[in-house]
Structure formats: C-alpha cells, structure tokens
Structure 1
Amino acid sequence: MRFIATTTKSLCWLFLLQKSAFAAVQNIDILYVKLHAEMSAEPLLLKQPADNKTLAGAKLAIEDSNTTGRFLKQHYQLTVVEDNNADGVISQLKRLLSVQEAPGTVLVDVPENAFNAVSEVIRGSGALVMNISSREDALRQSQCAEKVLHTVPSRAMLADAMTQYLMSRRWREWFLVSGNSDGDKAFASALQRSAKRFGANIVEQKQWSFDTDLRRVAQKEIPLFTQHDDYDVVVVADEQHLFDKYFPGNTWLPRPVVGTEGLVPTGWHWTLEQWGATQLQNRFYSQFAREMTESDYAAWLAVRAISEAVTRTKSTASDVLYDYLLSDSFELAAFKGRKLSFRAWNGQLRQPIPLVHPNGLTALLPLEGYMHPVTDLDTLGYDKPEVRCNMAK
C-alpha cells in the first residue's frame, strides 16, 4: 500500500511539473495580412508570380524562430488573412484584433493605395504594424506614424544605392524612362532626387505611354524612343515590368540599362552567397522549390526582428517590442554582412542594398567612401534632417 501511495504521489508531481512546464511556454501569434493587387497587364505566361510570394518568407522565419524558441519556451505561430477586396481584409482584421488575446504584431502585405486604411485599423487596436511590401517614400518622410516599421527598402534607398554605383563608374549622364503607373512615377521621382543628391545629370526624360506589344517590334521602337546626342546610361522605372525588359540591347546608343531592368537595386537576390546567405537560400529553396525574392526576405526580416525583440525583452507587449526595436540596443543578423537596425526617426530598417543582374551580384551598397556621422547605411534613403513627421526626434 505504501508503495502504491508513493508511486501515485510521484505520478501526481510529474503531471503537475509537466503541466507547469507546458503552461510556461510563451505563445507569440503573428498576423499576416495579404490583399491581392490588381495587375495592369497579364504577366508573362512563362514567368507567373508564385502563389506564396512573400508569405513563404514569413513561414520560414516562423520555423527559424521556433528552432531557437524551443530552448527559450517560446512558440511562434502565423495566422493568415487574405482577400481580393480591401473591405474584406479590414472586416477580418477588425474581428481578429478585437479579441482579448489578439496578435500584437501584424505583417502588412497590401497595395500602396490600401496601406493607410489597413494600417489605421491595426494601430487602432494597439498592435504593431510591420510593412513588408510598400516602398512608398511618403510613409518614411512625411506620413510616418508611430508603431509602423518598414523592413522593405524604400524607393529612395533603392535609388540612392543605384546612384552611388553609377557615380563610382562615372556614368553621370542619364536617359530616364518611366511608365504610367503611380509606382513608376514615384520611382522616377526618387531617381530624380537621388541624381540631384549625388550630382548626376538627367539629360533626357521620357514617359513610356504606349500599349504596343513589343515582342515583335522592340528592335525598331526602342532605338527610336531612346534617340539623343549622348548619355552614359539608360535608367528605367517600370515596376510592373511591362516594357523595361525590351530595353537592354535595343537602345539607340550602346549603353547599359539600369533601374527596374538590367542592373537592379533590390532588397534581396538569389545570388547572395556571403555571410552565411547560402544556407538561408538553400533552406528556402528546399522548402518552397523556388528562389527567395525581395518580398520573401522582407517578410522573413519582420518575423525575425519580432523574435529577437521578444527574446531580449521577454515580453510580447507591442509597446515594449516597439520601443526596443527602435532603441540602440536592437541589432539583427540577417546574412548581409552587417547588423541591421531601425531608424528611430521613421521606422525604416537600415540595410545594405544589393545591385544585381539576372544571374549575378554586381555590388553591395553603400560603397566605401560615402561617409555619414552615424553609419554609412544612412547614406541610403531619407536621413534624419530630411524627415518631416511625428517620429522625427
């Protein structure tokens, strides 16, 4: 009888210990919001966008965070909200964020014209917004808001990175071509700002407003369109890639093409191999059978930043995480050879920018020689004195 009582008592203690250990696990729920964008034109039949574009990066980061989280009694999970309609997304968001144990962080992957409406709903609930898709400069320069952080590079950052390289090659004279979309015009404006900032000269600027199918007539149309006395480089702003792919090899003068085609500034590219990037690329390819894109990487960064903040602060409160992410204490190792951090004045993640062509890395910006009193990473994009919004300190 004594043996049975002792055994029963031991089993009870074991059950209580297991229950206690389970209860001590910290659950971190991250919400991912996807609003499908309408395309101005059909993508190429042989190059369809992946169904899991962007989301795949978040899923890999959740997996990475749980690998280390097991030892820290942390468990990360991803809840996905997606719709083809902005009202549908907002309705689902309001429902999910109104519950007592609502997610404290939301990854926002929506078109730029819907970002503010979606962001306001999230911020109204007290949650932290992680922008993983919008490159809009105004969100970092004149409309930046508290509890909104950006892991995707802004257009200004991409333009400045590209311009630094062009100036290092003494390609100062630009022929600038832009499309009709709002994104194309915004990138063209970022390029104009960057040219003025670093001393380049736009000798000609044209807008591509034709709906011609260039697959058969590119060799005739592009040379005529790019006629000019002289220029060092053709800079193209076509974010949906409706016409830019026809410019390389078809310009009036034999000149390099840069911008959204040719040499392209981007947040991430499959050709990055240094600083341990190969293992990230391989893990992504092994799981999703495709290369990791810039949008995948932006989502991966957002989740990993939250994971790092939770680990360091031992908190899941959005206010605590936000303050830590903007502090000097936050650093994120992200396979780019530098520790990444957020700019306290506009919430943008500082990061090196690869300049790539389809099958190789040409340079990683900023280049040596571009000086800054804090960090040379702040030579890319809007610096503190240029920001006109409430987060500026």
Structure 2
Amino acid sequence: MTWSAWCLCVALLLAGSTSAAQAAGAIVTLKATLISPADDPRLERTRVERHYLGHVEGPASDGVQVALDEAQFELQAVDAAVALSKQPADSLEAARTAAQAAERAGAAVLLVDLPTDWTLAVVDAVKLPVVNVGDPADRLREKDCRARLFHIIPSERMRADALAQTLVSRKWSKVLMLVGPSAEDQLRAATAQASLKRYGLQVVATKAFKLSGDPRERDLANPLLLTAGNAYDVVWVVDSDGEFARGLPYRIVLPRPVVGDAGLVALAWQAQFERYGAPQVSRRFAKAAGRPMTAADWSAWMAGKALVAAVTAAPKGPAAAWAKALADTPLDGSKGGILTFRPWDGQLRQTVLLSDGQGVISQAPVDGLLHPTNVLDTLGGDAPEKLCKTTR
C-alpha cells in the first residue's frame, strides 16, 4: 500500500469513528451564555487609554474565549465541548430578559459581567448556576448572596485584606485614609477600615478629596494639604474613578508609600507576574487580544476554565448537576496552588497579587500567616463570620 493510500484509509477510519460517536450522542456539550453591558461605560475610549491600574480595559469575552481555545485538545479527548454565546444588555430588565431567553434556549450556565443589581436580577430570574466574572461587590458574597452564584473576581474585602496583611508584614501600622466623594468610594472605604481593624492597624485620620472645577473646592484635590498635619506610615487612597489616585504618589507631604487605588494595588492578576506558568498565560492572551492581560481578563479566563472543568466532569441531569460540577472541581489559575470555590459564599479562593503597575511586589496571604483550614480564607469573609446566610 502506498503512503497516500494509507493516509486516505486512516482519514476514512477517523471520519467514520467521529461520525459514529456523534451519531451515538457521545459528545457532551455545555451551553453557556455571557451577558455583559452594551456600551459598557468602563470601556469608554478615554478611560481605557489612561490605563488605570486595576480597571477593566477590554471585554470579558476576550478572556473567556482564550480559555476555551486553549482547552480544545482537552475537550476533544473526553468527547466534550463548550458552546458560548454572547448577549449584550443595556438595562437591568434587558439583562433579566436575556437570562431567561438563554435558559429557554438550553443554556446550562450563565456568565455575567454586570453591575450588582443587574447580577442579582439575572440570578433570581433563572434556575441556572451563574458565574460572576467582574463584580467585586461584597454584598453579593454577604447579605445578597445566592446559592447558585459563583464569583471569580476577588471581592473588595479580599483585596483590602491583602493590602492590610502587607502593611502588617512591613510594620506600616499608622494609616492616613483619603476617600473619594462617590457612594462606591464610601462603601469601599468602610471595607478597607474593616480590614485595617481586623489586622490591628490604626487609622490616624480619614480625609475626603474631590476633583472639581470649582475654584472654591480646589483645596480638596491638593495632595499636600490633604496629607499635612498627621504622622503616618502609609497613605491609603480610595478612588473608584482613578483620576485623583493616579497623581498621588510622590506628591504627599511625608516620604511615605501610597496604597489602595494607586501606588501598591491589590490585583487578581498582573501581566508581569513571573511564576507558576503565568508568563505563558499572559503571552497567549496578549497574542489573542492584542493587549496586556489585566485582572478582569484573568477573571474572564478563569470563568472559561471553570466551564471546561465542569463539562470535563461530564455531569448529566438538571442545572443542579452543572452547579455541583462548578462547585466541586478544583482549578489551576497559574497563581500557585489549587483554587476552589468557598462553599459558604461561592467565592473562588485565590492568591492576590500586590503590584505597582510595573511588576508584582508581593503576594497575599503573606508568609507566616496561619489559618485552621486554608490560609487563602484569610482573604475575605471567613466561614465563622456567617456573612452569607444562604444554604448551599
């Protein structure tokens, strides 16, 4: 038999076996729908161009798709597949409608990158497991938690705890807090203060800042005036918008570090992380998306990996089976160790990276910190706190 004839025979055999497997219904397909905002204000051109550290710089679909593309060989090996559809929503009601339509169309899992109230509307409108890709709001893990809601992105409390642990490890015990004017800033400041209290750090003063075109309010945006009159080891800035915070380092009265939303920032991911295969992950994403991988992109990538892990487990049955597969399957996030979802609030346990934007300075949990069961549970709400009342 000639070489070409042998290749033809092999091809025919492979095609026949594939067709037979498909005819027998052997391929398990997980249908998933990603719901994200239409005309997302976080992706407004001038905001993206400023590259605020820790802010979203591209659509969540980029990270999810990279994860699914990477997993094709793994999926084919177990006769499985993930079918992802994308649905934009321009309002809470539109998000709810999109979720219900996806459920009717046979989706088994929903991914959401939505504002907090929109996410809750989606979860309450369907019986499917929902994976929160991008909202760090603590209320989704606490008073407004849901049994079928899973969270990839670290919560605000996790990020605040990571920073507080870092301050303790460096013996920076006296903290001056600068807080922005928005309602989100007020909530995040309260979270930061809870973390500081948890780790025995002292807030020497809390001062409000405000960026304004009103000449009468210009002193409220003056770093020298805001940081004068107190003795402190570190300045913690809470600025959800990001514009004030980015100009704060090196402009304060005392030669002290800045943390929070500028200076040293707690992140889920940093493109210059150099351990655990992270450089390869960042390079693959940059090649596919044409931009560096951010914390939001890592979270979306992990959501895609969670889908792959669930369908690889090949559950059969109602939505509860897919929810169990998501909850029980450990994940590798290229940050060291195995990542799992906490049973009490659905949050993905993970290392948090501390970065100045140029590289990774340190990681949390910090070395030497102890916990009765899992040291990763020192970041965020722990089980004994019972902040989430939902039974899973």
Q: Deviations over 1:139-185 (max 9, x none)?
A: 11222111100011000000000110111111111111121223222
Q: Give me the whole-angstrom Cα distance separating, in 2, the residues matched to 1:299 and 1:338.
A: 19
- AA aligned to 2:245 is D
- TM-aligned CA distance change 1:93 to 1:331, over 3 Å: closer
Per-residue deviation, residues 86-117 of structure 1 (Å, max 9, x unmatched): 33333333223223xx1111111012232211
Preserved contact between residue 123 and residue 148 of structure 2 (Cα < 8 Å): no
Q: Following superposition of structure 1 onto structure 2, how do residues 178-217 of structure 1 map, counting pairs within 5 Å?
A: 178-212=179-213
Q: Using the TM superposition, give the Cα deviation of residue 236 of structure 1 relative to its aligned residue in structure 2, in angstroms.
A: 0.7
Matches within 5 A, 1:131-170: 131-170=132-171
Alignment of 1:31 with 2:12, yes or no, is no
CA distance in 1, matches of 2:14, 2:88: 43
Counterpart secondary structure, 1:333: coil
The amino acid that maps onto 1:365 is: A
Deviation at 1:67, TM superposition (A): 2.7
Which piece of structure 1 moves more, 21-30 or 156-165? 21-30
Letter in 2 for 1:113: D
In 1, Cα distance between the equivalents of 2:271 and 2:220?
A: 30
Residue equivalent to 2:293: 292
Residue aligning to 1:19: 19
AA paired with 1:244? A
In 2, Cα distance between equivalents of 1:112 and 1:255: 35
Instruction: Rate the CA distance shift 1:331–1:220 in 2: closer, same or farther, 3 A.
Output: closer
- Code of the residue aligned with 2:353 in structure 1: it is P
Q: Secondary structure at the match of 2:303?
A: helix
Q: Does 1:59 align with 2:65?
A: yes
Match of 1:73 in 2: 79
Structure 2 residue aligned with 1:371? 370
Aligned-residue RMSD, C-alpha: 2.7
Asked if the contact 2:211/2:220 (under 8 Å) is kept, the reply is no
Call closer, same or farther: CA 1:93–1:309 in 2, change over 3 Å. Answer: closer
Question: Which residue identity does 1:22 align to in structure 2?
Answer: Q
- TM-score normalized by the length of structure 2: 0.88
| Separation in structure 2 between the aligned mates of residue 356 and residue 341 of structure 1, nearest angstrom | 24
Q: Distance in 1 between matches of 2:249 and 2:128?
A: 45
Give the direction of change, closer, same or farther, for the CA distance of 1:42–1:313 in structure 2 (3 Å limit).
closer
Distance in 2, Cα, partners of 1:247 & 1:160: 22
Report the alpha carbon displacement of residue 16 of structure 1 after superposing the two structures with TM: 6.9
Structure-to-structure mapping, 1:267-346, within 5 angstroms: 267-315=268-316, 317-327=318-328, 330-346=329-345
The range that moved more, 346-355 or 141-150, is 141-150
Q: Secondary structure at the match of 1:326?
A: helix
Amino acid at match of 2:203: I
Number of the residue aligned with 1:240: 241
Q: State the Cα distance separating 1:65 from its structure 2 match.
A: 2.5
Equivalent in 100, 120, 126 of residue 124 of structure 2: 120
Summarize the Cα distance change of 1:333–1:188 in structure 2 as closer, same or farther, 3 Å threshold: same
Question: How many angstroms apart in 2 are the aligned matches of 1:111 and 1:261?
Answer: 23
Cα distance change, pair 219–390 in 1 and its aligned pair in 2 (3 A): closer
- Cα pair distance change 1:114/1:13, threshold 3 Å: closer
How far residue 119 of structure 1 moved from its aligned partner, in angstroms, is: 2.2
Give the distance between the partners of 1:337 and 1:243, measured in 2 at CA.
34
> By how many angstroms is 1:120 displaced?
1.5
The CA distance in 1 between the partners of 2:334 and 2:297, in whole Å, is 14
Q: Evaluate the alpha carbon distance shift between residue 15 and residue 130 of structure 1 in structure 2; reply closer, same or farther with a 3 A threshold.
A: closer
- Deviation, 1:14, is 9.3
Cα distance change, pair 300–164 in 1 and its aligned pair in 2 (3 A): same
| Alignment: residue pair count | 373
Which residue identity is paired with 1:370?
L
2: CA distance, partners of 1:377 / 1:213: 45
State the 1:212 CA deviation: 4.0
Change (3 A) 1:25 1:237: same
Say which is worse superposed, 14-23 or 182-191, in terms of deviation.
14-23
**What residue is the counterpart of 1:385 in the other structure?**
384
Q: Aligned letter for 2:199? A: F
Contact kept? 1:346, 1:392, Cα under 8 Å = no
Q: Where does 1:83-98 land on structure 2 (aligned, <5 Å)?
A: 83-98=89-104
Residue 143 of structure 1 aligns to a residue whose secondary structure is coil
Structure-2 change in CA distance of 1:97 and 1:40 (3 Å): closer
> Once the 2 structures are TM-superposed, how far is the Cα of residue 317 of structure 1 from its aligned partner?
4.3
Counterpart AA for 2:383: K
Shift of 1:52: 3.8
Q: Which one is further off, 261-270 or 56-65? A: 56-65
Distance 1:14 1:55 in 2: 33
**Secondary structure of 1:339's partner?**
coil
| Structure 1: segments with no counterpart, 5+ residues | 1-11
Inter-CA distance 16–323: structure 2 relative to 1 (3 Å threshold): same
2:256 paired residue number:
255
Match of 2:114 among 110, 116, 120: 110
Whole-angstrom distance in 2 between the partners of 1:181 and 1:169: 30
Q: Deviations over 1:61-97 (max 9, x none)?
A: 1112223111111121210001333333333332232
Percent identity reads 29
- The whole-number CA distance in structure 2 between the counterparts of 1:350 and 1:50 is 21
Give, in whole Å, the separation in 2 of the partners of 1:45 and 1:53: 11
Secondary structure at the aligned position of 1:141 is classed as: coil
Letter in 2 for 1:359: Q
- Secondary structure in 1 aligned to 2:141? helix
- How far off its partner does 1:388 sit? 3.3
Aligned-partner Cα distance in 1 for 2:190–2:377: 19
